[in-house]
């Protein structure tokens, strides 16, 4: 996939930067952890 | 730029997923599930089939009917198609090809003399990546899925963060010192060798710097993090990433084969993969390929891998100084800003989850790799098929088997632990459990007695439900990420890795792989 196919992010990510991707992964993980803690 | 493509495929895939989940629920898939031996995954098939199917149908209808408009909604919602596409491939691989290959491997064993599926590690992880590579190079990723495929690294990072929940402070204290020393030596050594070789082979300083970070630290993210420090061009970053991915793919296939041939244990292989393989995703791939039915290897590999990432700030500083020295008149780089701005937050997320897990909110605080010791009367009772309570204390036959071979145990601590087990019909402490695991691993007694010791071990070791759920989720996040990763490995990116970076990267990669193999083989004891 060429990078010029996307006007944002890179060939490896939809996010503007690694930092954005990291924060999204962190938020997603914390939400999942909360759900596991409450429901399991 | 509009990302949403008008297509019927997400809707079709969503309907197929829901239909499959319904067929599993109704029992119509029973004969197939029985044939493939996937009954254990039936609940997973229903839940994931309905959930992703519903998402696929809703997103598919939206993608088919709503006129696409440029903007945030278009950009992010258009990724759903790619997620559904990857999950469809992951379902086929995990619930179809993986068990089928395992069946073929067993069936061909009498003829071939070995189980090719096991020897070649043809499990869902490897097949997922191969499926991704085949799709992107033979059929191409459909345009409507391309944006979503770029979410695969998010899946890998989320998996790594969640992995922190499986550890406790006690466990890190157990592995931490060794991993820091081992990783420190190999990270700093690799960076040093790449810098030396790069200069000797007249590679540009920026290329050498970014390759040193990629090969030394944690692959792609390290290369990207160090790039501004050494003023690397995008082509040089791409070359480094290509080299790391190509070498990592080879390692991912070779490491489990070598590990199995050498009879390595879970901790040994995890330490070797975490030290010797260049890229985080491929560390996970190799660990899961080595032990597809459990997660112990993956956890050890990730501990080593995460330790490696912690060296990033040191490497960033080192390369900045090296670059300034090499490039006369090079613009000075703000080191603090680079370190603060580029340190991967997902590593901090992993540490945060680890801290939460160490407090005991997911499992008893003393849990070790998700399992914990409990020999109370309540914990020593289980239920049979009819729901009646059954004691898991050792029976008379079990005790007789132990007594018959007790004389073979010579070490005082092992003798004492065995005596306590025989007297109480259950293991009395974590220390006794660990001591007698050593007796089993060393095969001091015969099979019958070892089976009893294993039974006693299982009776007092319990896996927390929350941790078990985390394990399943992590496996799926990694499957998702690795299938997507395969879809990003094009032949052109592999060709791009050719030339000097490939030569230098491979030389250092091989030195690191063999060096870490020797050190791990000599230093890391098997304790699981």
Query: Least CA distance to B350: which residue of chain A?
Result: A26
The per-residue pLDDT for range B381-399, each reduced to its tens digit, is: 887 777 788 888 998 899 9
Please tell me the distance in Å from B220's CA to the nearest CA on chain A.
Answer: 10
Rounded distance, CA B96 to CA B128, Å?
11
Domain count, chain A: 1
Among B38-52, B64-78, B325-339, the minimum mean pLDDT is found in B325-339
Residue in B with minimal Cα distance to A38: B466
Distance from the Cα of A40 to chain B's closest Cα (Å) equals: 6
Instruction: Pick the range with the lowest mean pLDDT from B235-249, B328-342, B362-376.
Output: B328-342
Chain B: residue whose CA lies nearest to A1: B488
For tokens 């370190």, the residue is: B339
> What residues in chain A have their Cβ under 8 A from chain B's Cβ atoms?
1, 5-15, 18-19, 21-26, 28-30, 32-33, 36-37, 40
Q: pLDDT tier at A24 (50, 70, 90 boundaries)? A: very high
Is residue A31 situated within a structural domain? yes
Q: Is A19 part of any domain?
A: yes
Min Cα separation A32/chain B (Å): 9
Instruction: Give whichever of B133-147, B162-176, B200-214, B357-371 has the largest mean pLDDT.
Output: B133-147
* B268-323 pLDDT per residue, tens: 888 888 888 877 667 878 888 887 665 667 777 877 777 776 677 678 778 877 88
Residue B465 CB coordination number (10 Å): 12
ipTM: 0.93
Task: List the domain range (segments joined by +) for residue A26.
Answer: 7-39
Is position A2 within any domain?
A: no
- Alpha carbon distance B17, B298 (integer Å): 29
Quote the pLDDT of residue B350. 79
Reported as type and span, the H/E element at residue B382 is: strand B381-383
Q: Which is it for the CA torsion B240, B243, B248, B249, positive or negative? A: positive
With CA atoms as reference, report the closest residue to B141 among B492, B487, B482: B487
Mean pLDDT of all residues belonging to chain B: 82
B71: left (phi over 0), alpha (psi -120 to 50) or beta: left
> pLDDT band at A1, cuts 50/70/90?
very low
The whole-number pLDDT of residue B338 equals 58
CA distance A37 to chain B (A): 7
Q: How far apart, in Å, are the Cα atoms of B430 and each of B373, B410, B427, B436?
A: 6, 20, 8, 10
Q: Is A34 a domain residue?
A: yes
Whether residue A28 contacts residue B158, with contact meaning beta carbons closer than 8 Å, is answered with: yes
Cβ–Cβ of B490/A32 closer than 8 Å? no
Cβ of B141 within 8 Å of Cβ of A1? The answer is: yes
Which pLDDT band holds residue B91 (cuts at 50, 70, 90)? very high
In a domain, A30, yes or no: yes
Residues of chain A contacting B151 with CB distance shorter than 8 Å: 13-14
Q: How confident is the model at residue B12 (pLDDT cuts 50, 70, 90)?
A: very high
Instruction: Output the pLDDT for position B336.
Output: 66
pLDDT in the model for residue B464: 85
């Amino acid at each position: 996939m060429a990078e010029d196919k996307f006007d944002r992010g890179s060939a490896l990510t939809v996010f503007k930067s690694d930092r954005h991707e990291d924060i999204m992964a962190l938020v997603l993980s914390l939400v999942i952890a909360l759900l596991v803690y409450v429901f399991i | 730029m509009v990302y949403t493509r008008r297509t019927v495929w997400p809707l079709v895939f969503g309907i197929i997923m829901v239909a499959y989940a319904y067929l599993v629920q109704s029992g119509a898939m029973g004969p197939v599930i029985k044939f493939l031996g996937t009954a254990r995954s039936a609940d997973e098939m229903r839940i994931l089939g309905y959930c992703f199917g519903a998402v696929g149908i809703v997103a598919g209808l939206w993608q088919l009917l709503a006129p696409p408009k440029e903007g945030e909604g278009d950009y992010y919602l258009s990724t759903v198609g790619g997620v559904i596409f990857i999950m469809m491939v992951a379902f086929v691989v995990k619930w179809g090809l993986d068990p089928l290959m395992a069946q073929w491997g067993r069936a061909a064993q009498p003829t071939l003399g070995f189980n090719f599926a096991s020897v070649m590690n043809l499990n869902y992880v490897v097949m997922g990546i191969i499926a991704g590579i085949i799709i992107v190079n033979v059929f191409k990723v459909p345009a409507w899925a391309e944006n979503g495929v770029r979410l695969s690294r998010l899946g890998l990072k989320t998996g790594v963060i969640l992995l922190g929940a499986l550890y406790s402070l006690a466990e890190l204290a157990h592995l931490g010192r060794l991993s820091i020393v081992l990783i420190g030596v190999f990270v700093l050594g690799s960076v040093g060798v790449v810098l030396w070789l790069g200069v000797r082979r007249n590679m540009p300083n920026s290329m050498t710097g970014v390759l040193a970070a990629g090969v030394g630290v944690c692959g792609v993210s390290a290369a990207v993090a160090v790039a501004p420090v050494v003023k690397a061009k995008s082509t040089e970053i791409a070359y480094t990433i290509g080299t790391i991915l190509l070498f990592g793919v080879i390692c991912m296939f070779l490491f489990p084969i070598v590990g199995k041939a050498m009879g390595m244990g879970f901790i040994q292989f995890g330490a070797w993969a975490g030290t010797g393989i260049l890229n985080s995703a491929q560390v996970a791939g190799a660990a899961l390929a080595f032990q597809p039915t459990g997660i112990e290897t993956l956890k050890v590999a990730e501990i080593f891998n995460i330790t490696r990432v912690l060296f990033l700030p040191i490497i960033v500083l080192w390369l900045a100084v090296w670059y300034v020295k090499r490039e006369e008149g090079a613009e000075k780089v703000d080191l603090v800003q680079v370190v603060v701005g580029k340190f991967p937050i997902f590593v901090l997320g992993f540490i945060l989850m680890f801290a939460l897990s160490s407090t005991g909110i997911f499992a008893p605080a003393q849990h070790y790799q998700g399992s914990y010791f409990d020999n109370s009367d309540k914990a020593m009772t289980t239920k049979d098929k009819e729901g009646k309570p059954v004691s898991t204390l050792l029976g008379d036959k079990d005790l007789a088997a132990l007594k018959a071979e007790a004389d073979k145990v010579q070490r005082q601590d092992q003798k004492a632990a065995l005596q306590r087990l025989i007297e109480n019909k259950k293991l009395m402490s974590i220390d006794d459990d660990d001591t007698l695991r050593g007796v089993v691993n060393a095969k001091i007694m015969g099979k019958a007695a070892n089976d009893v010791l294993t039974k006693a071990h299982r009776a007092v070791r319990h896996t927390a439900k929350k941790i078990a759920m985390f394990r399943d989720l992590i496996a799926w996040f990694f499957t998702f990420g690795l299938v997507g990763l395969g879809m990003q490995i094009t032949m052109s990116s592999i060709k791009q890795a050719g030339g000097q970076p490939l030569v230098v990267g491979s030389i250092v990669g091989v030195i690191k792989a063999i060096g870490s193999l020797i050190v791990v083989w000599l230093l890391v004891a098997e304790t699981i």
